[in-house]
Amino acid sequence: MSDAAAKGKKLSGGAKFAVDMGPLAIFMIAYFLGGRLAPLIGDLAGHEWRLRQGAEMYLAVAAFMPSFAIAFVYSVWRERRIAPMLLVSGVIIGVLGTLTLVLQNKTFFYMKPTIVYLLFAGMLYGGMATGRNFMRTVFDGALHLPDEAWRTLTIRYSIFFTALAILNEIAWRWLTKDCPPEAPAPPGSGAWSWLLAEGGVVEVAKCTGEADWVKLKAIGFTAISLVFTGLQAPFIAKHMADEAPPENKGS
């Protein structure tokens, strides 16, 4: 088996986009369309299911976790390696998503981006402190820059991730500050009563600001990240090595 085969192949543009954005798209669909999909699925199962008001986040998290797991496994199987940031995200999503569903407390998932961004920033800061360059690892050989340029990029992204973490904390706390506590499901109403209601909508607290936070998390932060990355293009182009590193000789 050749070294290339042993290492696997990099994901193509479409596959990488699906791995990165597919779970997020499923999260958005479950959150914003779950109320319409629940009755349709209930009809197929012979039940009059309705999504409880205020339970959109729980449904979205329940759909997001397995879709992310599938994307993660596919990425590892295809590339024959574990991307560090994907691994960090996966662990945090698994832990906080499970706590959100088991304890029925949305705060855990509201704080998920904060923790992810702080861990990313911490990894970059820690790498610089120990003489390791995690930015080079993230770009996986796609860029050839001098060490000083890598250091500058690392500092910029460390500050950027820290700023995103602060922004998320301000955003979710502000947008959900007026949300009343959720009413518990009636006793004896079934194992899925925290998510679904049989025969009608159960009136529980509905947080209107939550939908704005979901849009910010899924669309806003993604757009901000793309813009920030695009702004680094002139710096990267300026410091790109004039010549690619020499190819390994021999078979």
Tens of pLDDT, residues 208-222:
889 999 999 999 999
pLDDT for the residue 193: 62
CA dihedral 103, 107, 108, 110 (to 10 degrees): 140
Report the SS3 class of residue 198. strand
pLDDT for the residue 1: 42
- The string of pLDDT tens digits covering residues 88-127 is 889 999 999 999 998 889 999 999 999 999 999 999 988 8
Identify any residues that bridge with 198 across adjacent strands, giving them in sequence order.
Answer: 49
pLDDT for the residue 234: 92
CB neighbour list of residue 79: distance below 8 Å, 6 or more residues apart: 7, 8, 9, 10, 11
Residue numbers of the chain with a pLDDT score lower than 50: 1-6, 188, 201-202, 242-243, 249-251
pLDDT for the residue 230: 94
Inter-CA distances, 131 with 122, 127, 158, Å: 14, 6, 15
Q: Which two tokens stand for residue 80?
A: 């024959």
pTM: 0.81
pLDDT for the residue 142: 72
Using alpha carbons only, what angle is made at residue 87 by residues 85 and 93, rounded to the nearest 5 degrees? 100
pLDDT for the residue 20: 85
Which amino acid is present at 23? P
Q: Where are the domains of the chain?
A: 8-239
pLDDT for the residue 32: 92
